[in-house]
Chain A
């Protein structure tokens, strides 16, 4: 039976709770309602209101109390309901969650996994389609990961919850309904490893989260033009799997980074910098970026013009190959 990414993550949460009674799930509407995307559906009924609970509507409070619960010995998995509502929790995440293990010389462990549905493409109202990953990746002390497939949705979530480091787990909301026939539970590659989703010889396309599907579609279309695209799913945005990135560029000599987030100082800038540091003599063309524009996220009727898509990627493929 086919499993969606939302169901795969739900199953991962359920299995993590069954395995370890220290795992707690909380946030806005995650209990009785099962989350606005139903990712926590049924968990409160199974594991009770002590372990799956609705909080007051206060994001800093959710993350700040998660820190206290983690100090006590729990493994909190708080949910931020939408990407655009993580900002009230910014101080707790950046000033405390990320730093406290370091400040305490390792005596305080904070095994917190923050779940954040992120990205656009669902016609949502303002503040519900943001891609804030660069903020978290820029913050020392956090691990940042995002699945591009339902299998990774399950496996990476299990891994995140078992990590003793704090994790920002970005769920590509437009891919919640993406299906797989794989049976759960499933174990995929370790989250810190980038994975080649499609091998190719002409251009490497680096992507993550919601753009993995888009990049694969672009690779398929490129094949019709006779271009061989290698699609690399980064999976972990902090740390980045630099070795895998470099290895791919050494094979193809050309690189394009794809993300929904705005271009300026996005993950693409860091990937491009690492490529030129480590694979300069392998490059046949400049590293290019297919991204959202450096504007606020647009209103829903305009998002198709803003979001990177197959055509934007193929234009860059053509440009890269022209060198």
Chain B
């Protein structure tokens, strides 16, 4: 009885703030949550999951780092979508903080950049909180069996695509597309805090 009460208390605390960070091997949380795509349809992570793997990208319109990496994110997403990896870009930012993160702006951005994968609104930041996502952009790559194999950033140079030495996400995607283990599973970079709804 005491053990059950303790577990319930710990769970309740977890709900109020972000969940604990995802570890390698974890499955995507909240994968059935429907989110509004720029084409007006409701899409979940489960809906887009690919045979070879699934890439979830937390991003937004306004953040300078998201903007700097945007064409690279889209290029990778569009390429690997065609290689059996399901791709979804998630905007968990409350647009009352930055109007540029609004839905109409997302529609325009997706069109302008030729997103060939969903760009969805995580209303209430529900999915971002479950992922304990901290930053835009921040990516989570799951393998064919739905296990997390890469978490972090796109590459080692936000500002200058031409000066990139380590293509972290590109390498991870190539490995997953070929059913290979990912060598470097966790990276970090500067970015903008996610503007959680209700914070």
Asked whether A and B interact, the reply is no
B residues lining the A interface (CB < 8 Å): none
